[in-house]
A and B are shown apart, each in its own frame.
Chain A
């Protein structure tokens, strides 16, 4: 208990869970607005070929027979102004679903939209990771997939009068197995892909059409920040998360608000914050970290790095490298975090989604970092003109006593 306390325990006030028969790949979970109603749903695909769509506390749709689902993404891939759901199976099928009805007009309408298949296409098999991003600065989203055979491919949705399809754009080959793919901006604000490679290194690719002069490069991070050498094992895989919203309250020496920050986590417990080709800080967590993600916990606040280890310990790390731990207490097979709409017609909340080996999905929401609580009573009194003027007459102890007696000794019958 006391050791935990030193670790800074983060807690979730609320959670709920769903049964989820089947096993889940970590890229086969996505949080996003699949039905374009401005609420955020959770989509999970299983190895058994079942696709589950959860909205609030309910499972609203299940689609079966999709093969081994290895990756899912939600976004406006068709560049038509509404989100599509992209489901890719290990054997090379890419299914695209759309919610074809208009978004609900009446906010009290509880009727649930169903997704319908709009496109199926064969692509090379063995997709491992998926990314939707604009790699050529044309303002449209492209689909980027990383395959288990070290290949990265990009596609663009092409719509003709009769039908649309995914058109292959580029193919890059990596030196080693792909951990994750992120899209960042370089010094000159040009988009580039970073593909994490084992041993805390990365490959950088540019779109060859938009930037033909820029060639691919392997980034070996400089060791100026004293990375523990014993942890830089070239056999250890690593994952990344990009495009962090910068914490402007942080030390301005390391980075400023125009920097493009990204996080790296290695399977042997190293967490790093990086910009360009340098590591800003690193931290040894002593856990098997299989995922790194980002989450803005305060409304509109900066992004935190979130890492999850196989034993369920989830770390919430701020950009100054201070961390707090959420102890889930059960081993997990997949994790994702982001905003989720827990109740219809309410604001989405920062949430963690954990999938256990016991075939359950837990959604935790209402995260409280250590020492984040409701506003103090004295501040609320200060904000009220009448009450604060009245209370000014009294000093500390008698003020407290008046509040206490007014609440707990008040005689309701006497006027």
Chain B
């Protein structure tokens, strides 16, 4: 995280949670972040270059059918189409009923969608609502195969210790039996799932799924996507709630400089799949213990674990981001902690080594890394107890990196 400068902070009146941000991956490679600010408002960040300076402002997004007294809990979005942007947003929220004693809440799931090429404004208007009978936690999606077609399904973990599956059919959100599509998410060890996800490989024929529970269970399963059959199943138990789980490759796909200059390569990274030819790693972070990376899980299962030394020294690990912030085409691990720090671990000499820590002065709840300005370089967007922080790369340093690589 060297050379990152904290440039702006926007205060929010109440803190975010770990499910407060989602990034829209557009087909042209651009990105946009959508965040829950102060429980009530959905916002995005817009940047313009004025007088040679970057000006970033908060733009409110008016998602329809969310009452003004709602408390938004989680948000997630997917792009259903590879040729045109076709975003679908899922938002969960609670309505507090104040008349009753004790206070109770009704919870809902809203799904917003449009057509390929629809603007965000149009999508926000087109809403379907489903009343839930549990408190929602993480909202996510996963890919399954049926009749050699890949399909995506909304998945939602909840206070009823289950992972629920939803499909949209004929303008309605319909709950599905999760075991019919994702057999690995049927049994959640009778505990609340705080984080879960799934990545496909072997051309979507197989998938790696995981979840982490409040009771400390963490699960990894290798599943045959076509048959919905578990091939391998691993369970670990930690001593504290699992707050963070992520599957990743260390080395990113690279392109030779000649191909970069010919602007031929226009592959967009597929965030639903993982490259099984590279080693696949699993990060598990918990509230009390140090985070662990299971290396090469397809080959070694969970036997080769590397502990991220001292990663528990700033209280609980709250969130994680695996991305390349130092431009070496290798992914680093950023851990956001309750104790105000972002920790940065890099993979060197077969070990995960801590590089820097970044003092955010407030508890860190989510970290994202995306290009909000549209100049080609990403910013780190952090949501903390205090608000929204934007950490920027020093532009003169970026110029040096570019000159070096372009041999100028």
- Interface check B306, CB cutoff 8 A: no
Residues on B with beta carbons closer than 8 Å to the beta carbon of A11? 8-11, 387
Complex Cα–Cα for A9 and B6 (A) = 16
Contact with B405, one of A9, A14, A398, A410 (Cβ below 8 angstroms): A410
Cα separation A13 to B384 with both chains bound (whole Å): 13
- Tell me if B399 counts as interface (CB < 8 A to partner A): yes
Closest to A389 in B: B408
**Contact pick for B403, options A384, A398, A400, A401, CB 8 Å:** A384
Residues of B contacting A: mostly: mixed
A387, chain B: closest CB distance, angstroms: 6
Any B CB within 8 A of the CB of A375: yes
* Interface 9-mer from A106-114, A123-131, A365-373: A365-373
Task: Kindly identify, within residues 387 to 415 of chain A, every residue whose CB is under 8 Å from any CB belonging to chain B.
Answer: 387, 390, 394, 397-412, 414
B256 adjacent to chain A (CB < 8 Å):
yes
Residue of B nearest to A12 (CB): B9
**B168 interface contact, C-beta 8 A:** no
Q: Tell whether A9 pairs with B11 under 8 Å between CB atoms, given A406-B260, A408-B329.
A: yes
Q: Given A13-B6, A406-B406, are A374 and B263 also a contact pair (CB < 8 Å)?
A: no
Contact A376–B373 (Cβ < 8 Å): yes
Cβ–Cβ < 8 Å partners of A381 in chain B: 399, 402
Q: Is B376 a contact partner of A402 (Cβ separation < 8 A)?
A: yes
A333-B56 Cα distance, complex, nearest whole Å: 33
* Partner among B12, B265, B324, B375 whose Cβ is within 8 Å of the Cβ of A400: B375
Q: Is the CB of B402 within 8 A of A378?
A: no
User: 1/0 per position for B11-34, CB-CB distance to A under 8 A?
Assistant: 111000000000000001100000
Contact of B8 among A327, A373, A403 (CB under 8 A): A373
Q: Report whether A409 and B255 are in contact in the complex, using a CB–CB cutoff of 8 Å.
A: yes
A1 CB within 8 Å of chain B: yes
Instruction: Return the chain B residue nearest A327 by Cβ.
Output: B11
Contact present for B329 and A376 (CB under 8 Å): no
Q: B5 contacts which chain A residues (CB < 8 A)?
A: 374
Chain A residues whose CB sits within 8 angstroms of the CB of B265 once the complex forms: 405, 409
Decide yes or no whether A380 CB sits under 8 A from chain B: yes
* Contact of A410 with B7 at beta-carbon distance under 8 Å, contacts A373-B392, A376-B52, A376-B375 already known: no
Q: List the B side residues contacting A58 at CB < 8 Å.
A: none
Q: Which residue of B lies closest to A406 (CB)?
A: B405
Q: How far is the CA of A406 from the CA of B405 in the complex (A)?
A: 7
**Which residues between 151 and 208 of chain B lie within 8 Å of chain A, taking CB atoms?**
none
* Complex contact A404–B10 (CB within 8 A): no
Q: Are A387 and B29 in contact (CB under 8 A)?
A: no
For residue A205, give the distance in angstroms from its CB to the closest CB of chain B. Answer: 43
CA separation between A9 and B8, bound complex, in Å?
Answer: 10
> CB of A4 within 8 A of chain B?
yes
Q: Are B405 and A377 in contact (CB under 8 A)?
A: no
The CA of A291 and the CA of B375, in the complex, are separated in Å by 43
Complex contact A377–B408 (CB within 8 A):
no
Contact partner, B392, options A14, A374, A407, A412, Cβ 8 Å: A374
Could you tell me the distance between the alpha carbons of A378 and B374 in the complex, rounded to whole angstroms?
A: 10
Name the A residues within 8 Å of B106 (CB-CB). Answer: none
Chain B: minimal CB distance from A277 (Å) = 37
CB distance from B375 to the nearest CB of A (A): 4
Residue from A11, A327, A403, A408 with most neighbouring chain B CB atoms (10 Å): A408
Q: Within 8 Å CB of A398, what residues of B?
A: 263
Decide if B257 is an interface residue (CB 8 Å cutoff): yes
Check if B314 is an interface residue, CB within 8 A of chain A.
no
1/0 per residue, CB under 8 A from A, across B117-148: the answer is 00000000000000000000000000000000
| Distance A177 CA – B405 CA, assembled complex (angstroms) | 69
Which of chain B's residues has its CB closest to A1's CB? Answer: B38
Asked if B254 lies at the interface with its beta carbon under 8 angstroms from chain A, I say yes
User: Out of B29, B49, B378, which one reaches A378, CB within 8 Å?
Assistant: B49
Q: Does B66 contact A (CB under 8 A)?
A: no
**Nearest CB on A from B395, distance (A):** 4
A249 at the A/B interface (Cβ < 8 Å)? no
Complex Cα gap A233–B58 (Å): 39
CB atoms of B40 and A1 under 8 A apart:
yes
Instruction: Decide if A403 touches B52 in the complex (CB within 8 Å).
Output: no
Most buried by B among A1, A376, A403: A1
Contact indicator A407/B376 (Cβ below 8 Å): yes
Kindly provide the distance from the CB of A390 to the nearest chain B CB, expressed in whole angstroms. 6
* CB of B328 within 8 Å of the partner chain: yes
Q: Is B299 an interface residue (CB 8 A)?
A: no
**Given A1-B38, A400-B375, A411 contacting B254 (CB threshold 8 A):** yes
- B403 and A376 form a contact (CB under 8 A): no
Tell me whether A410 and B29 are in contact in the complex, defined as CB-CB below 8 angstroms, given that A11-B9, A376-B395, A403-B375 are known contacts: no
Q: Which of A346-381 contact B (CB under 8 A)?
A: 368, 370-381
Q: Digit string of B250-266 for contact with A (CB within 8 Å is 1, else 0)?
A: 00111111001101010
By the criterion CB–CB under 8 Å, are A409 and B253 in contact? yes
A386 close to chain B: CB less than 8 A: yes
Does B398 count as interface, using CB distance less than 8 angstroms? yes
| CB pair A378 B375 closer than 8 Å | yes
Q: Is B239 an interface residue (CB 8 A)?
A: no
Nearest B residue to A396 via CB reads B374
Give Cα A404–Cα B37 distance, bound, in whole angstroms.
29
In the complex, chain B residues whose CB is within 8 Å of the CB of A404: 29, 371, 376-377
Which positions in B face A, CB cutoff 8 Å?
Answer: 5-13, 28-29, 37-38, 40-41, 43, 49-50, 52-58, 60, 252-257, 260-261, 263, 265, 324, 327-329, 361, 371, 373-378, 387, 390, 392, 394-396, 398-399, 401-403, 405-406, 408
Question: Would you list 21 pairs from A and B whose C-beta atoms are within 8 A, ordered by A residue?
Answer: A1-B12, A1-B37, A9-B10, A327-B11, A371-B53, A371-B56, A373-B8, A374-B5, A374-B392, A374-B395, A377-B373, A402-B376, A403-B377, A405-B255, A406-B401, A407-B327, A409-B329, A411-B257, A412-B254, A412-B329, A414-B256
Which A-B residue pairs are the 4 nearest by beta carbons? A403-B376, A411-B254, A379-B52, A1-B38
List the interface of chain A (C-beta within 8 A of B).
1-2, 4-5, 9, 11-15, 327, 368, 370-381, 384, 386-387, 390, 394, 397-412, 414
9 further interface pairs, Cβ-Cβ under 8 Å (given A1-B37, A373-B54, A401-B376)? A9-B10, A327-B11, A373-B55, A376-B49, A377-B398, A377-B399, A387-B408, A390-B406, A400-B376
